[in-house]
Amino acid sequence: MPAPFKLAPLPWDEDALAPTISANTISFHYHKHHQTYVDTLNKLVEGSKFAGMKLEEIVQATFKSNDAKEKTLFNNAGQVWNHDFYWRSLTPAKTEPSGELNSAIAAAFGSKDALIAQLADAGKTQFGSGWAWLVMKDGKLAIEKTPNAETPMAVGTNCLLTVDVWEHAYYLDYQNARPKYLEAVLGKILNWEFASENMSKKAVRAAAE
């Protein structure tokens, strides 16, 4: 029987984001880290009550669990979802916010530069491993940060973009200079078209509610 979850294809070639993110970093991050989360997730769901569930459903169903096995399941399912979302949050093409997204940015932050500054600050101040997010919450854009495998999607929040601030996302290119990594990614390769697509989607209702 085939494994229920597979490593999703990258939306661009492994060298497409260079020099902002090198092919070497993408290769290790995608084929080693992301692949391991997928493989571990498949082992954990096999024969469990979560077999047959969608990835989002597993993340939401295990997010608040106090069971040790379910916490491990959440960590791997969350990381698979987060990485799938992260790759699509980046693009080698030059994109800019437009239409409804551009208006929402102006309303919530005043400008795209102000948004990026707040997103960079979230990434810089996330202690240890984690993620910085642009989300749609209560009808307006907001910035959030989450530790480890956590994701705003787990509680039904509509995510628009994310940036990975685990060390494996940037260490080969930027060593310990997380701010330089954030400056480069946020200034050059964010996929604003992906953000616009996500903005039009309704928030996923958390299964735990």
Which H or E element spans position 164? strand 158-164
Residue with tokens 């169903």: 61
Q: How far apart are CA 109 and CA 142, in angstroms?
A: 9
pTM: 0.94
**pLDDT 10s digits, 130-182:** 999 999 998 999 999 999 999 999 999 999 999 999 999 999 999 999 999 99
Burial class (CB in 10 A: 0-12, 13-18, 19+), 23: middle
pLDDT tens digits, 183-193: 999 999 999 99
- The per-residue pLDDT for range 95-110, each reduced to its tens digit, is 999 999 999 999 999 9
Write the CA distances from 77 to 6, 34, 58, 81, 102, integer angstroms. Answer: 12, 11, 7, 6, 32
Enumerate domains of the chain plus CATH numbers: 23-89 (1.10.287.990), 99-199 (3.55.40.20)
**pLDDT value for 206:** 43
